[in-house]
Amino acid sequence: MERELGKELVLDELFDLTLYKRMREIVSDDLKPLFDELIPTETKHLKFWQDFFSIKLDRLDFRRTMKLAVLTMVARLFGSLGTHLVIEAIEVYGVRKYIAVWEKYKGTPMGEAVRKVLEDEFQHEDDIVSSASERLIHPERVRDIFLGLNDGLVEILGAVSGFFAALSSIPAVIAASAAVAVAGSISMAAGAFGALNSEKEVERVESAKREFIEGKPAEVTTRSTSATESAIIVGVSYFFGALVPVLPVLLGAKNIFWSLGFAAAVMLFISTVIAFLSGMKMRRRILTNLVILLIAVGVTYAVGLLSRSVFGISI
């Protein structure tokens, strides 16, 4: 078990070092100093973990090689924005990974050595990345985008499935799906706006109460997104997610299978991207969302068939 952990850590550090070297070759001159600081730090960390676990690896495995190619392509296509998103996402992954390492080794004879390198990982790299640009990955934005896309895709796929079972007219399926998508996006935006405003009001009251009791100004929690911005992100994301299962119908699909296949492919992509940006476990997130898709389609299709049978719908 420890050997496997060591191999993963060494390969991850080798991946980060290789990625930073590769990206330095393609970024603009104003970003090169960022990598000139990251590369020596990553080189030191790689050597530490190689010595710590007595594992010497100098080649990436297939999965990390493919990941390297994809992230390098993102940096090429999106320039400075893509570069900062990639290195911030790598940082998020690093934090989650090294917290697990610390939990394993704290209190052991090797704990102090691990603490020193983790402090370097957390503090030095974060200072370098944060000083280079304003943080681009905000947890609230990740949450809002995922919430909107995920709900829009799943709910409208379920609606399309039910409409295919209940309705015999493709134009009727499209019209009903479009109505549900628009109503759903407005409802989600309004819900996000109301929820965040309510949360802020509760925090304001609690802050005032603490200030009265303690006799000094209470610390105010700052957020990266306003209620309006959050509502817009959720609503727009929901609508784009809702377009996914409807698009195959617009292009001539006559049954639910094309919508299901397209939705599953897009869900796979969305889950992978969001998991990468937020540090989630990809396999669990992808599997969970695909299972939810299948349940939504199965249940709503059954409801549509039942409705058609009971109410005699002939549209």
Q: How far apart are CA 233 and CA 103, in angstroms?
A: 36
How much is the pLDDT for 139? 55
How much is the pLDDT for 142? 66
Question: Which of 79, 289, 191 lies closest to 280 in space, CA to CA?
Answer: 289
Tens-digit pLDDT profile for the chain (315 aa)?
Answer: 677 877 888 898 899 899 999 988 888 888 888 888 888 888 888 888 888 888 888 889 998 898 888 888 888 887 877 787 787 777 777 777 777 777 777 777 667 667 777 776 666 555 555 554 455 556 566 667 777 888 888 888 888 888 888 877 788 888 888 888 888 888 888 887 887 777 777 777 777 767 767 666 656 555 556 778 888 888 888 898 888 888 888 888 888 888 888 888 888 887 777 666 665 667 777 788 788 888 888 888 888 888 777 766 655
How much is the pLDDT for 233? 86
The encoded tokens of residue 135 equal: 């943080």
The encoded tokens of residue 289 equal: 């969302």
CA quadruple 220, 225, 231, 233: dihedral, nearest 10: -160
How much is the pLDDT for 217? 64
Q: How far apart are CA 129 and CA 35, in angstroms?
A: 9
Is the C-alpha dihedral spanning 275, 276, 278, 283 positive or negative?
positive
- Which CATH architecture is the domain 2-132 placed in? Up-down Bundle (1.20)
Query: DSSP for 34-53?
Result: HHHHHHHHHHHHHHHHHHHH
The encoded tokens of residue 139 equal: 């947890």
CA 305 distance to own-chain centroid: 35
For residue 59, give the 3-state DSSP assignment. Answer: coil
* Residue spans per domain, the chain: 2-132, 139-311
H-only helix segments in the chain:
2-26, 32-53, 62-105, 111-119, 125-132, 139-166, 170-214, 227-250, 256-278, 282-311
Counted residue by residue, the chain has a size of 315
The encoded tokens of residue 10 equal: 């060494």
pTM here is 0.63
For residue 29, give the 3-state DSSP assignment. Answer: helix
